[in-house]
Structure 1
Amino acid sequence: MDIAHQLDKLGVDAIESGFPISSKGDLESVRSIASAGLSTDVCGLARVLRKDIDACIDAGVDMIHTFVSTSDVQRIHTIKKSREEVLEMAGDAVSYIKDHGMKCMFSAMDATRTDMDYLLDIYRSVEDNGCDIINVPDTVGVMSPSRMYNLITQIDQEINIPIDVHCHNDFGLAVANSLMAFEAGASQIQVTVNGLGERAGNADLAETVMSLQSIYGAMTNIHTQHIIETSRMVERYTGIKISPTMPIVGENAFAHESGIHTHGVLEKSDTFEPGIMTPEMVGHTRRIVLGKHAGRHAIKKSLESAGLSPTDEQLTEIITRIKSIADKGKRITDADLNAVALAVMGKPAGEELIRLKELSVMTGNIITPTAVVKAVMDNEEMIISNTGVGPVDAALKAVEEMIGEHARVKIHDFRIEAISGGSDALAEVIIGVEDENGRIVTARSASADIVIASVDALITAINTMLRK
């Protein structure tokens, strides 16, 4: 339900909310979404079978998407029907849906491997039976962009109702094929958040929308500033992590490390970014990454943002030390840069807003993981407890609650690595925290106790951010 409301906020035109006939749970889920009062159309999926269609009607959806295999390989080996039987079933299903006064989309499953003359016969038949939209699925992701363009061009010449496409990403071409379909006359594209889907997934929403709007100049109803929050919500609920290098929504999509790149971006962002798409357009933030390729200009800017103004000689020494750390394969955090700079400049570390005194956790198979944190917060001792899905989650939530009104921060990213072997392995935790202005600060900690390392890293990141 959270994802459905988020998609509605994002401005999607339709949500294919589930396959009601597949289970009682799916039926109830689709019914809940359909009755949630969303602005978007809620669609249910159905085979060309009356029991499937009845389940969608029972769920109260706005539109029914009915489908049947049309390629010889699927028709013969899965549904075991003749071409004539499939043609009749498709027409009957569409008529049945329209007789109930509902909007109908029809898919010829595996359309891109279906004989062209037969495919057009199917689409003409469903159009004659009142279908509102035809869908052309590249079910096993075998199309090339040029072939997709030619296919949709041919269909568009024969069919008078809107064309929708559904592309799979088996060869990494789902978005490219979708865009070629749009160029050829398709007016709708089926997409998924983070490109999730069967096997290698489907056309990604963010990549498709931003390509349409920024490259083609096409208008969509998507409120693009909500793309990142939508992507992260789906990542959190599915547990499927977004690759750092994923276009648009990945952590590195607007991150720059190379000295040449960072110098250019800091002077004028579109020197090394598309320009027609900015991080702000999708709710992202630009980051300067400090590593062995970082340039003098970037490190100086980062230090200035932390209120530090080293001399040229001190800056040279800071850069040397930072690159020495990076050459050992370590990621440079903001707290690392701060610590190195303060040491080189001979400055005190500064007052910490929060200082950990004690941490205890309780966990087990019959106990809800609970953490109790005692810390000095702004010279006042506080004790906070919280629960979570595990001891680390509980401890981090307790610290976030403790920081309370002093700063509105949230955990942006969390990663852990074992840096020694054995059951007593030393664990290194790197945490990034983000404030309400989208500014991100990172810090690290290492300990044989993963909970202690996590809390230490979080507190260090918070203190570093507040000092900045």
Structure 2
Amino acid sequence: MYIDKVKQEMKIPEKVRIFDTTLRDGEQTPGVAITPEEKIRIAKRLDNLGVDVIEVGFPAASLGERKAAQEIKGLGLNAKVCGLARVLQEDLDAALDSDVDYIHTFIGTSPLHREYKLHMDQEEILTKAVDAVEYIKDHGIIAEFSAEDATRTEFEFLKNIYTAVEDAGADVINVPDTVGVMVPASMRQLVGDLKEVVSIPISVHCHDDFGLAVANSLAAVEAGALQVHATINGLGERAGNTSLEEVVMALMATYGIKTNITTELLVGTSELVSRITGVKMPPNKAIVGENAFAHEAGIHVHGVLQKAETYEPLKPEMVGHTRRIVMGKHTGARAIKSKLDDYGIEMNEDQFCTLYDQVKKLGDKGKMVTDADLQALAETVLGKPKEEKVKLEGFTVMTGDNVLPTATVKLNIDGKIKTAAKTGVGPVDASINVIQDLVRETADIELKEYHIEAITGGTNALAEVFVIMADGEGHSATGRSTVEDIVMASVEAVLDSINKILLARDMDQLP
């Protein structure tokens, strides 16, 4: 592995602490508001997950924030319960009143923040930072200090303020890439330079404005950072924060670095946070997305079925996920046969070829065939009679405003072509009416039952139609069809049933 060559040059630790800020920075995701009760639910799940610190919010913001912090602290969690505070007396007191055992305090340090937000010079900012840390430590609380917008701050000032808060008793210094402007090489350089001047643990808080939050966090660890701030699903301001699930799995699987995270709980935790916040994950979201361990392409599926590692860097079970073989236009025969084996469905070669062609045709129309779709299609193929006395040669239907639903059907009945048109209360009714009329000379067969069901959700869901037809001689048969068009599914199901009845009548006439 190439990583093994470069790891020797890195200062990577054996273990990294995970500081979770889902309930603070994650809640700052536009449109997200988490109630105190929901914060408690998420905090319990985060503690089960194994995060080291839970930043529960900004106690000075509201009474609700303080009450939520107090209640979470009262749960007796294994994780440290942290409150955020500016270097202001009222903020620090609000955090202390919340009974948290960890305070994360911050002040802006970059020229932009000094000039346009704070209207303070370097000396004033440094003094306030030191005073805040000393105040926290006077109360026997763990203190973490962040130089907000550190990555756009002059290094000399950054070095001065971090060494000053270390001297004041800070337990951890945090390096926020507040607007996500770093690249891995510069983050590695910055953390490495800070390691030369401070001896307390270095933490990083990266934002994803350029999609580099995880990469920058990993680069910081490569330079010796011992803690990473992260959120579940990468929630946070603007483009979000470092994704906890991504950075944890990269640390573990790629670098061999330990964390306290129980990785099997990642997907479940992701889903809980997604439900509570209302922020749905894109299907291609790394680690926890619906498609993170899904395969469609025939070459990939073949490889995965032989040896999962050919196209999977992780076992899905490691993160609480499951592997999915998705059926579509890229799906190979091996994948479909593997699925059929899972369902216990046996087919002969002709039946399988019919099923395979149906899956490919649906894929060409842009349809993804789900497990439920495949089973329904397979049942339809298996249920088809060996011989078809009645075959569909052509079919059109017309319906709409001020138009009586009309179906025109062309059938091949024992080698004779017959065509007719009929109306009905709807396109399905019209279609069944004309089919019954066309076969009446051969057999008087009537519809007894009709059921329809969408296999999966969505307007492009496959429709499964189930019918029971009967003649006047005591023969009845079920018919089934599964296609994406409800009217066509109804036509095919009716013809399926009719052919079964005609086959039964022929069997009765055998000597």
Q: TM-score, normalised by structure 2?
A: 0.68
Match of 1:314 in 2: 351
**Aligned mate of 1:32, from 44, 60, 71:** 71
1:327 maps to a residue whose letter is D
Query: Residue 64 of structure 1 aligns to a residue in which SS?
Result: strand
Of 364, 382, 386, the residue aligned with 1:327 is: 364
Task: Give the match for residue 455 of structure 1.
Answer: none
Aligned residues: 360
Structure 2 residue 141 is the aligned partner of structure 1 residue 102 = yes
Q: Which one-letter code corresponds to 2:96 in the other structure?
A: I
Aligned to 1:115: 154
What is the CA–CA distance in structure 1 between the aligned matches of 2:340 and 2:144, rounded to whole Å? 56
Equivalent residue for 1:12? 51
| C-alpha separation in 1, matches of 2:286 and 2:370 | 23
Shift of 1:326: 1.8
Give the structure 2 partner of residue 48 of structure 1. 87
Partner-residue secondary structure (3-state), 1:165: strand
What CA distance in whole angstroms lies between the structure 1 residues aligned with 2:483 and 2:243?
33
1:60-459 pair list within 5 angstroms: 60-274=99-313, 277-346=314-383, 417=458
One-letter amino acid matched to 1:294: T
Q: Distance in 2 between matches of 1:327 and 1:260?
A: 18
Higher RCO (CA-CA < 8 Å; seq separation 6+): 2
Q: How far is the alpha carbon of 1:84 from its aligned partner?
A: 0.9
Q: CA deviation at 1:27?
A: 1.1
The code of the aligned residue for 1:87 comes to L
> Would the aligned equivalents of 1:207 and 1:248 in 2 still touch at CA under 8 Å?
yes
Q: Is the 8 A contact 2:372 2:456 kept in 1?
A: no
Q: Report the CA distance between 1:313 and its aligned residue.
A: 2.2
Tell me how far 1:418 sits from its aligned partner.
5.2
Give the structure 2 partner of residue 387 of structure 1. Answer: none
What letter matches 2:304 in structure 1?
Answer: V
Distance of 1:209 and 1:176 partners within structure 2 = 12
The offset of 1:216, in angstroms, is 0.3
CA distance in 1: counterparts of 2:160 and 2:456, whole angstroms = 54
Deviation at 1:415, TM superposition (A): 8.4
Taking structure 1 as reference, are residues 119 and 256 closer, same or farther at Cα in structure 2, changes over 3 Å only? same
Contact 1:110 1:137 in 2 (8 A): yes
The 1:429–1:296 alpha-carbon spacing in structure 2 relative to 1, beyond 3 Å, is closer
Once the 2 structures are TM-superposed, how far is the Cα of residue 30 of structure 1 from its aligned partner? Answer: 1.1
**SS in structure 2 opposite 1:142?**
coil
> Which structure: larger Rg?
2
SS in 2 for 1:219: coil
C-alpha spacing 1:429/1:192, structure 2 compared with 1 (3 Å): farther
Pairwise CA distance, 1:21: 0.2
Structure 1: 5+ residue stretches without partners? 349-413, 420-427, 431-442, 448-468
In the superposition, relative to structure 1, how do residues 310 and 103 fare at CA in structure 2: closer, same or farther (>3 Å)? Answer: same
Q: Secondary structure of 1:200's match? A: coil
Q: Deviations over 1:346-400 (max 9, x none)?
A: 369xxxxxxxxxxxxxxxxxxxxxxxxxxxxxxxxxxxxxxxxxxxxxxxxxxxx
SS at match of 1:158: coil
Give CA-to-partner distance per residue, 1:307-339, whole Å, 9 cap, x none: 111112221111101111221122212232122
Name the amino acid aligned to 1:42: V
Amino acid at match of 1:35: G
Deviations 1:444-464 (A, max 9, x none): 9999xxxxxxxxxxxxxxxxx
Structure 1 residues 107, 195: closer, same or farther in 2, change over 3 A?
Answer: same
Report the CA distance shift for 1:57/1:327 in structure 2 as closer, same or farther (over 3 A): same
> Equivalent residue of 2:196, what SS?
helix
Paired residue type of 2:373: D
CA distance in 2, matches of 1:203, 1:233: 18
TM-score, L = length of structure 1: 0.74
- Identify if the C-alpha distance between structure 1 residues 139 and 415 changes in structure 2 by more than 3 Å, giving closer, same or farther: farther
Identity of matched residues, %: 53
Kept after mapping to 1: 8 A contact 2:175/2:205 = yes
Following superposition, the deviation at residue 255 of structure 1 comes to: 0.5
